[in-house]
Amino acid sequence: MPKQTRILGRAFVAVGALAALVTATAVPAAAAEPSAANVSSVEQDVDRLYQEVADLLQTPRPAKVLSNSKPLLASPIPEPGKKSSPAVAGSPDCTQGSLLTEVDKLAEHLTETELDAAGALSRLVELYASTVATDKSPQVFGTDGQYTPRATAAIDKLRGFWNIESWNIQLVAMKGTDAGSPEKMTQTFALGFDPARAAEAGELATKVTNEIPVLQGGRNPLLSLNAYSYDADNPGGKRITLGDGLLNVNNRSGFDDVSVEAVLGHEYGHQVDFANGNFPGDESGEMGPDAYAGYFLAHAKGEAWDARAQQEVTYLNASIGDCEHSHGTPEQRKAAGAWGEQQALKQFNPNQIVPSAKIIERFQQQYPKLMRTQNAAH
Ligand SMILES: [Zn+2]
DSSP state at residue 220: S
Q: What percent of the chain has pLDDT over 90?
A: 70
Residue spans of beta strands (DSSP E) within 132-278: 170-174, 227-230, 239-243
CA of 197 to the centre of ligand 1 (A): 34
Distance, in Å, from the CA atom of 363 to the CA atom of 202, rounded to the nearest integer, reads: 45
CA of 113 to the centre of ligand 1 (A): 30
Distance, in Å, from the CA atom of 148 to the CA atom of 9, rounded to the nearest integer, reads: 35
Which whole-number Å values give the CA distances from 26 to 17, 147, 213, 234, 246, in the listed order? Answer: 10, 21, 9, 35, 17
Q: Is 271 a residue whose pLDDT tops 80?
A: yes
CA of 66 to the centre of ligand 1 (A): 14
Torsions phi, psi for 151 (to 5 deg): -65, -40
One-letter amino acid for residue 121 of the chain: L
CA of 71 to the centre of ligand 1 (A): 6
pLDDT of residue 374: 60
How many beta carbons lie within 10 A of that of residue 333, not counting itself?
Answer: 28
Torsions phi, psi for 34 (to 5 deg): -70, 140
Going by C-beta distance under 8 Å and a sequence separation of 6 or more, which residues neighbour residue 143? 175, 177, 219, 244, 248
Distance, in Å, from the CA atom of 247 to the CA atom of 173, rounded to the nearest integer, reads: 11
Contact, 370 vs 339, CB < 8 A? yes
pLDDT-derived band at 84 (thresholds 50, 70, 90) equals: low
How many beta carbons lie within 10 A of that of residue 30, not counting itself?
Answer: 8
What's the N-to-C CA distance of the chain in angstroms? Answer: 13
pLDDT of residue 7: 36
Mean pLDDT, all residues of the chain? 87
CA of 44 to the centre of ligand 1 (A): 36
Burial of 26 (0-12, 13-18, 19+ CB in 10 A): buried
pLDDT of residue 37: 57
Going by C-beta distance under 8 Å and a sequence separation of 6 or more, which residues neighbour residue 259? 246, 247, 250, 251, 316
pLDDT-derived band at 66 (thresholds 50, 70, 90) equals: confident
- Nearest to residue 308, comparing CAs of 255, 359, 265, 248? 255
CA of 367 to the centre of ligand 1 (A): 16
pLDDT digits (tens, 9 = 90+) for 86-144: 445 456 678 888 888 888 899 998 999 999 999 999 999 999 999 999 999 999 999 99
- pTM for this one? 0.86
pLDDT of residue 69: 85
CA of 218 to the centre of ligand 1 (A): 24
pLDDT-derived band at 324 (thresholds 50, 70, 90) equals: confident
CA of 98 to the centre of ligand 1 (A): 17
CA of 186 to the centre of ligand 1 (A): 29
CA of 192 to the centre of ligand 1 (A): 27
DSSP state at residue 279: -
CA of 25 to the centre of ligand 1 (A): 30
Q: Is 197 a residue whose pLDDT tops 70?
A: yes
Q: Is 3 a residue whose pLDDT tops 60?
A: no
pLDDT digits (tens, 9 = 90+) for 10-64: 333 333 333 334 444 444 444 555 555 555 799 999 999 999 999 999 999 999 9
Domain boundaries, the chain: 39-83+92-223+235-376
Query: Under DSSP, is residue 238 helix (H, G, I), strand (E, B) or coil?
Result: coil
CA of 70 to the centre of ligand 1 (A): 5
CA of 288 to the centre of ligand 1 (A): 9
Q: What's the average model confidence in pLDDT over 198-202? A: 98
CA of 144 to the centre of ligand 1 (A): 25
pLDDT digits (tens, 9 = 90+) for 152-191: 999 999 999 999 999 999 999 999 999 999 999 999 999 9
pLDDT of residue 180: 98
CA of 267 to the centre of ligand 1 (A): 6
How many beta carbons lie within 10 A of that of residue 150, not counting itself?
Answer: 16
pLDDT of residue 80: 79
Distance, in Å, from the CA atom of 198 to the CA atom of 195, rounded to the nearest integer, reads: 5
